[in-house]
Amino acid sequence: MSINQGASVVIENHVIQSVHLKILVKVDCYLPPVLAVVELILLLINDGQDLVTMQFDQILNELQDDISPLFCVGLHCSADRKMEYGTAAASDYKGRGAKAGLYTKFVMEELLPYLRKTYQVMSFKEKSFAGFSLGGLSAMDIVWSNPKEFINAGIFSGSFWWRDKDQAAADFDEDIDRIMHRLVRSGEYYPWLKFFFEVGTLDETADRNNNGIIDAIDDTLGLIAELEKKGYANGAIQYLELEDGRHDVPTWARAFPTYLKWAWGRVAH
């Protein structure tokens, strides 16, 4: 079975009533010109409103000959973004991310069944999750916490500073207090998982340890180091550092094709 046959990506907009979050969640589905249900590859993307800004459908159209057909779903953030995005296992030191567990339940128990029912898909060939900034942290956390459901995480300017202690505290220890790093350290090794990380050299200006490297890069490289200790080799991790890249949609739009070609490039398959 195939639908939406044509030359370009088709965008379909949906609104889902979430029982867990008690809100309406807007999602945009980017359907490939030929949607082969038996081989449907699903990519979920947090902060789906940013995909509209970056004209994501045009990015997909330009890459049609270079990557496998993807069914991409952009999840628009809500007004409670700082509570819904984060790490489900723990809130940060200001209590942000307190609804991250509920957001994970929305994705796993409401969104995925909705997509399967709406598009008549019994199961997806594979699933991945991507996101920007705090949405990137959320995507990483959901993939890491549900390794049997996903094959990769695509993180752009990920908020890996996420910590449960104020860095101004006298006993702050980044190796202990950065939450995502700790979750990776205490987790298991799943050989099929892969990870893509993008950071811009102008992502921020903060340098808490005064080593001449901005925290955004330090925190991402630190997380990569934890993944490598866990057993993930170079082939499972792709790091893209963009010179003059910023913490903004144009930078993420510039980096997204690299992620798509790395994960689903036709040569690789």
What's the pLDDT at 151? 98
Residue ranges of the domains in the chain? 10-268
What's the pLDDT at 35? 64
Question: How far is 173 from 223, CA to CA, in rounded Å?
Answer: 15
CATH superfamily of 10-268: Alpha/Beta hydrolase fold, catalytic domain (3.40.50.1820)
What's the pLDDT at 171? 82
What's the pLDDT at 246? 97
Q: Read out DSSP for 128-182?
A: EEEEETHHHHHHHHHHHH-TTT-SEEEEES--TT-BSS-TTSTT--HHHHBHHHH
pLDDT in tens, 8-34: 899 999 999 999 999 999 999 999 887
Return the amino acid letter for 95. Answer: G
What's the pLDDT at 136? 98
What's the pLDDT at 189? 97
Mean pLDDT of the chain: 93
Given a cut of 50, the residues of the chain with pLDDT beneath it are 1-6, 268-269
pLDDT in tens, 26-64: 999 999 887 655 578 999 999 999 999 999 999 999 999
